[in-house]
């Protein structure tokens, strides 16, 4: 009976870890792929408590689970730096779009490459509260044509001035 309980706990942990599957390698020339990865390395940034206002695409990779890797939406559109480039075709915990406006930071799961499920937000919420020190504000859900878009909002006013 004790063994069955341990097995159930492991299954629950694995489900909540939200490891999304690795993608098939990007189908573009290796030269173009390397160019886009280099742009990402030069212009991509990590989320900080005082990151500037703006709209970004982001990933939290399995290799760096405590870091939010992001790039400005304008660069994403201009240079085609999508989530798979941000993660260098690696496995991610969650990916989507984010917006920083004054003290509010919002994340969503709008990623065509990875399609994170709603339960991936449990990890994001823990990360933002426990590592970044943000305060949870709200979660909004909207059914779109192809998926359930979920947006989670955090308030960083308590850490913004630090």
Q: Report how many helices (DSSP H) and strands (DSSP E) the chain contains, helices first.
A: 6, 7
Please tell me the distance from the alpha carbon of residue 49 to that of residue 134, in angstroms, as a whole number.
8
**Residue 130 pLDDT:** 93
Please tell me the distance from the alpha carbon of residue 52 to that of residue 101, in angstroms, as a whole number.
8
pTM over 0.85: no
- Please report which confidence band the pLDDT of residue 27 belongs to, taking 50, 70 and 90 as the band edges: low
80 touches 36 (CB < 8 A): yes
121-156: per-residue pLDDT in tens?
889 999 999 999 999 999 999 988 777 888 999 999
Please tell me the distance from the alpha carbon of residue 103 to that of residue 97, in angstroms, as a whole number.
17
93 touches 119 (CB < 8 A): no
Please tell me the distance from the alpha carbon of residue 98 to that of residue 130, in angstroms, as a whole number.
19
**Residue 41 pLDDT:** 76
Q: What share of the chain is helix, strand, coil (3-state, %, to 5)?
A: 35, 30, 35
- Please report which confidence band the pLDDT of residue 23 belongs to, taking 50, 70 and 90 as the band edges: low
Structure tokens at 139: 């979660």
Range 34-50 average pLDDT: 81
Range 86-115 average pLDDT: 87
Range 49-71 average pLDDT: 90
Beta bridge partners of 56: 72, 98
């Amino acid at each position: 009976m004790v063994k069955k309980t341990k097995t159930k706990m492991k299954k629950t942990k694995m489900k909540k870890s939200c490891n999304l599957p690795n993608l098939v390698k990007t189908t573009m020339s290796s030269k173009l792929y390397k160019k886009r990865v280099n742009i990402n390395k030069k212009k991509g940034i990590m989320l900080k408590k005082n990151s500037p206002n703006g709209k970004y695409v982001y990933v939290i990779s399995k290799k760096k689970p405590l870091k939010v890797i992001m790039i400005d939406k304008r660069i994403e559109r201009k240079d085609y730096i999508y989530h798979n480039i941000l993660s260098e075709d690696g496995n991610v915990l969650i990916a989507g779009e984010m917006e920083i406006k004054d003290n509010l930071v919002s994340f969503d799961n709008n990623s065509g490459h990875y399609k994170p499920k709603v339960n991936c937000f449990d990890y994001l919420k823990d990360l933002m509260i426990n590592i970044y020190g943000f305060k949870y504000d709200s979660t909004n859900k909207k059914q779109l044509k192809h998926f359930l878009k979920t947006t989670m909002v955090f308030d960083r006013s308590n850490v913004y001035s630090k």
